[in-house]
Structure 1
Amino acid sequence: MRLTKPGVVTVTLNAAIDQTLECPGFTAGAVNRVVAETRTPGGKGINVAAFLAGGTRPVTATGFLGEDTVPLFETLFRERGIQDRCLRLPGSSRVNIKVVDRTGGAVTDLNLPGLRVPEEALGALMATLDALAEENGCFVLSGSVPAGVPASIYATLTERLRARGAVVAVDTSGAPLRHAVAAKPDFVKPNAHELEELVERPLRNAGDIARAARELHATGIGLVVVSLGADGALFVSNDGAWRALPPPVEVASTVGAGDALVAGVLASRLEGHDLETCARRSTAFAAAKLAKVGPVPPAPERVAELLCAVRMHPLGTG
C-alpha cells in the first residue's frame, strides 16, 4: 500500500460506549453482583484510530457521535492526539455491554440500538470526507451501519474515495460487507463467520476458510485478512498466503481485538513490510492488546516479546 498523502482517516458511523461488567458466576434470571465496571469510548473506527495514533502518520476520526456522550470521545481524541472531525447528532451514542464471568469463562453481550442518522447528516459526512481526501491517503470504513443509513454506504464511500486516489480498508459484516466487496476496497478483514455469510457456504476448517479468502482476493481486493480469534488470522494478497497463530495470552478483554489487528495490518503495510512480516507483526499487536481494556495500545516491549512467539505457516495454492 503506497500513499500519495500521509494521513489516515477512520470512519465510524455507529460509535459506541463499551461498558464491561465483571460479574463472577453470572446467571440469567437471577440477581447478580457486579464487582467492577469499565466504560470506554468505542466503535470499530474509533478503536482503529486510537491504536494508530502516536505513530508516524497523522490520524483523524470522523463519523457520527451522539451529543449526550461526546465528552468520553473528546477525552480520548485529546489524549491520543487524534484529529476530531466527527459530526455531532442529537441523542446518545449506543452502549455495548459485556458481562464478563471469569469464573465460568463466559462473556454475555448486550448491544443497545444506536442513533438514527438523518439524510442531511449523511450529506454532511460526504462533504467532510471529500475535504479530508485532499490531505489524507488512507481511509478505514468499519463497524455496523446505523438506522437511516443504506446498507450500500461503504460501497458508495469506497468508490468515492478510491476515485480520489485513496487506499480504502473495510471491516464490517452482513449486507454492508456484501455491498462493499463489490466496490473492490484495497483491504477487507472479515472474521470466519462473516466470510462464511459472504460466500454463502459452510467453512468447516482452515482449508475452507483459506479457499474462500483466496476467492475474495481474486475478485480484485488486494489484501484479505480473516480473523480467527484465539486461532490467529489468515492473510492473502498478491504476495502469497500465510496463517499466523499467536501464543496463549492472558485476556482482560476481547473488545477491540479485531480493530487492533486492522490497525496492525495497516501500520505494517503502510511502512512497506512484506506480507509475512505484516502478518507476524499485526498478530502480535492484536494478541498483546488482549491484556488491555478499551482501545489502549499495548506496550512495544510486550509486542516485541510476542512477535517472536507467533507461529507462521505458509499456505499452499490449493
Structure 2
Amino acid sequence: MKKSVLTVTLNPALDRTVTLPFLQVGGLNRIKEMRTDPGGKGINVTKVLQQFGDQVTAVGLAGGYAGKQLIAYLKALNINCEFIPIQGETRTNLKIVDEDQGLTTEINERGAEVNDAEKELLLSKMDLLLDQASVLVLGGSLPPGLPVSIYKELIEMATAKGVKTILDADGSALSEGLKAKPFAIKPNIHELEELLDMKLETDQQIVEAARRLLGEGTKWIIVSMGGAGSIFISEDQIVRARPFPIVPQSTVGAGDSMVAAISSCLLRERSLEETARWATAAGSITASKPGTEVCSLEEVNAHLKDVIISDGY
C-alpha cells in the first residue's frame, strides 16, 4: 500500500535569514548572524515530514546557480528530491530578524519565468511520481509563466490516481485550485476572507463560510488564526483547537508545519480531532523556534496533550 507524500514547490527559493540586534530603517545595520536555507512552502513541509520519519519526495522547478545551491542543500539534508531544471534563476528571498522588536521582515523575489516546455516536463514527471504517492501537498506562490490553473491540473491528476491533495495557496491559485475539489485546504483567516470577499469576525461566521466550500466538494477545511488557534471543519464535524502557551520567535514555517502534520495524519488515517491536535502542536512548536527551525517528532509528541480541543464553536 502506498504510504508516501509528494510535496510540490513551483516557486522555491534560497531563504537568506539575517539577524540584527535592531533594524534601523534608512540607516546602517550590521549583521549579527546569517544563514541560508532551502525555502518554499512545499520544501518546508518536506523538512518537517523528514523529521517525522515519513517517506516524502520534494518536487519543484530549479534553475541557475541558486537552483544548484537549493538542490545541494536539500541533498545535504538527505531529502529525496525530483526537480525539473529551468532556464531561469531560482529566486533568493531575504528574511530580516529584528531581535529587539521580535519581528521578522520578509522580502521575496518574484521568481524565474517558466516556459511551456518546462511546464510539460513537470506534468510528465508528476504523472509518474503520483503512481507511488498517497498524499500530494501543493503550496505557495506561482512563478511567472505558469497559469493560475496549474494547481487545478495537478489536483485533477492526483484525484484520478486516488491521491489525496492538500492545497495551501492564496488568491487566484486557491480559487482555481478549489475547482478541482482538493481533499483539504488550509487557508489562514485572511486568505479565507480574501477568497470569499467578506469579513469573518467570529468562529460561527468562519464555520458557515467554510461549509459553503465543503458543499463544492472539498472534504476538510482548516482555518488557521495564528495565536488564536485553528478550526478544523468537515461535513459532519467541527473541531476547535487552541495552542498551548509559547514565546513566539518566528512565524516562518509555522503554517507549513501544520500542513506537514495534516499530511502525516492522512497517511495514518487519523481522525479530524487527532489531526487538529497534531497540526496545532506542530505549528505552535515551530513558531516558538528562531529563524527557519522546525518542530521535531519528539517535541510534537510531548505537547499533543497540551493542545486544547473542543467540539463545535
Q: Which amino acid counterpart does residue 65 of structure 2 have in structure 1?
A: D
Which 5+ residue runs of structure 1 have no aligned equivalent? none
Give ranges in structure 2 of 5+ residues lacking alignment.
Answer: none
**CA apart distance, 1:196:** 0.4
How big is the shift at 1:89? 1.8
Q: What is the distance in 1 between the residues matched to 2:38 and 2:289?
A: 14
Report how many residues are paired.
313
Deviation at 1:273, TM superposition (A): 1.4
Q: Please state if 1:241 is matched with 2:241.
A: no
Q: Could you tell me how far 1:210 is from its partner in structure 2?
A: 2.4
Per the alignment, residue 25 of structure 2 pairs with 28
> Cα distance, 1:25 vs. partner?
2.8
1:183 aligns with 180
User: Is the 8 Å Cα contact of residues 249 and 291 (structure 2) preserved in structure 1?
Assistant: no
The whole-number CA distance in structure 2 between the counterparts of 1:53 and 1:300 is 9
Q: Is the CA contact 2:7–2:42 (under 8 Å) kept in the aligned structure 1?
A: yes
Following superposition, the deviation at residue 257 of structure 1 comes to: 0.9
Deviations 1:42-97 (A, max 9, x none): 10011111111254542111110123123443344334443221112234321222
Relative to structure 1, the CA distance from residue 26 to residue 80 in structure 2 (aligned partners, 3 Å threshold; closer, same or farther) is closer
Other-structure match for 2:201: 204
Q: With structure 2 as the length reference, what TM-score do the two structures score? A: 0.93
AA partner of residue 180 (structure 1): G
2:57 aligned residue:
60
- Are the counterparts in 2 of residues 158 and 183 from structure 1 also a CA contact under 8 Å? yes
Instruction: State the match for 2:38 in structure 1.
Output: 41
Residue matched to 1:145: 142
The one of 301, 304, 307 aligned to 2:301: 304
Counterpart residue number, 2:89: 92
Q: Which of the numbers 99, 122, 133 marks the counterpart of 2:130?
A: 133
- Residues 141-192 of structure 1, C-alpha deviations (whole Å, 9 max, x = no match): 1110110001111111111221122111111110010001111000111111
CA-based RMSD of the aligned residues comes to 1.9
CA distance in 1, matches of 2:236, 2:70: 38
Q: Distance in 1 between matches of 2:133 and 2:282?
A: 24
Offset, 1:226: 1.0
3-state DSSP of counterpart to 2:123: helix
TM-score by length of structure 1 reads 0.91
CA drift of 1:245 comes to: 1.1
CA deviations over 1:243-263 (Å, ceiling 9, x no partner) = 211122233322111110000
Q: Secondary structure at the match of 1:134?
A: helix
Query: Which one of the candidate residues 87, 99, 103 is aligned to 1:102?
Result: 99
Aligned equivalent of 1:290: 287
